[in-house]
Amino acid sequence: MDIHAYNFDSLAEKEWKYPKIDEDARGTQLLIKAAGGKLCKDEIDRIAEHPDAKSVSIGGLRQDTFEYFIRTYSCQFRYISIFDGALIEDWSLLETLPELEALYWFSNQKITKLWDMSKNCSLKALELSDFTKLHDLSGVEKAPALEWFGFGDAVWRTSEIESLRPLKDTNIRRLSFSGKTIRDMDISFIQQMKSLEVFDFPANLFAMEEVAWLAGKCPDLEGYALRPYIETMVYNPETYKADIPGVLLVGKRKPTIAIAGNEKRIANHVAKFNKIAEQARNEGI
């Protein structure tokens, strides 16, 4: 499931697999956004009216107001969602938040590297969407308690990263990538991530053979595209609706096709996928 400003609070409490907070502990869930697109300090100071709040979604921050928010109010929050923070260049103050459990950040055009997460000892969930200049995930491995990490695109399909390998020795339980590409296209190390339970990625990101191999090597690993195909509906020119049962074949450059009339093609794809997965399972036995 995608994480964004509108479902952040419900996901933080219901979906993420770490100790939940009862309503008294969560307190008020705040939404702070700029009246004119650029948040001012007076608007941020509305937070002072809600000292029991543990969750905040805040939009319209620039570098100066981001630093003001972090220094003045962020220590009271366990869940922070930042949207429209595209022009912030330095987010190193995030390392001063040892009580922060979950951070979602949508849109940034300036940041090129992660902050030092070694002091974020409570951070369990981190989701970064539409970061146009952040290509290196080195530093994620320093977050001592991280269980859920997501990186990619919510609006524009442009995010590119060098590699997922910085995550190799982490205890992440859920990993999602929804960007344009991973430059080294290496998923061979995923089988070594013993805590990983879910790995989500676009159905057309990797070659079918690579996905099938991973599915065979990690039979208990769940994921949106860790299967031969994904059921969907295809466009019907007679009704102008997507109401024809179809499948999206998993694999780079694989199409979405109607089931009717393509039964043999689908069966051959499934058979090839399953054969590769079975061979991967039997390697080393």
Per-residue pLDDT reduced to its tens digit, 249-260: 999 999 999 999
Alpha carbons 274 and 272: distance in angstroms, whole number? 6
Alpha carbons 154 and 177: distance in angstroms, whole number? 11
pLDDT of the residue at 80: 93
pLDDT of the residue at 267: 98
Place of tokens 């849109």: 107
Alpha carbons 198 and 220: distance in angstroms, whole number? 9
The candidate with the shortest Cα–Cα distance to 140, out of 175, 107, 161, 114, is 114
pLDDT of the residue at 30: 83
pLDDT of the residue at 284: 61
Please tell me the pTM assigned to this model. Answer: 0.88
Half-sphere exposure of 197 (CA within 13 A, CB side): 6
The full set of domains in the chain, from first to last, is 8-201 (3.80.10.10), 224-285 (no CATH)
Task: Give how far Cα 105 sits from Cα of 38, 154, 247, Å.
Answer: 17, 11, 32
pLDDT of the residue at 154: 87
Per-residue pLDDT reduced to its tens digit, 40-77: 999 999 999 999 888 899 999 999 999 999 999 999 99
Residue ranges in the chain modelled with pLDDT below 50: 1-6, 8-9, 12-27
The candidate with the shortest Cα–Cα distance to 29, out of 4, 13, 9, 51, is 9
pLDDT of the residue at 19: 33
Alpha helix stretches (DSSP H) within 38-159: 41-44, 63-72
What is 91-120 written as a DSSP string?
-GGGGG-TT--EEEEEEESS--S----TT-
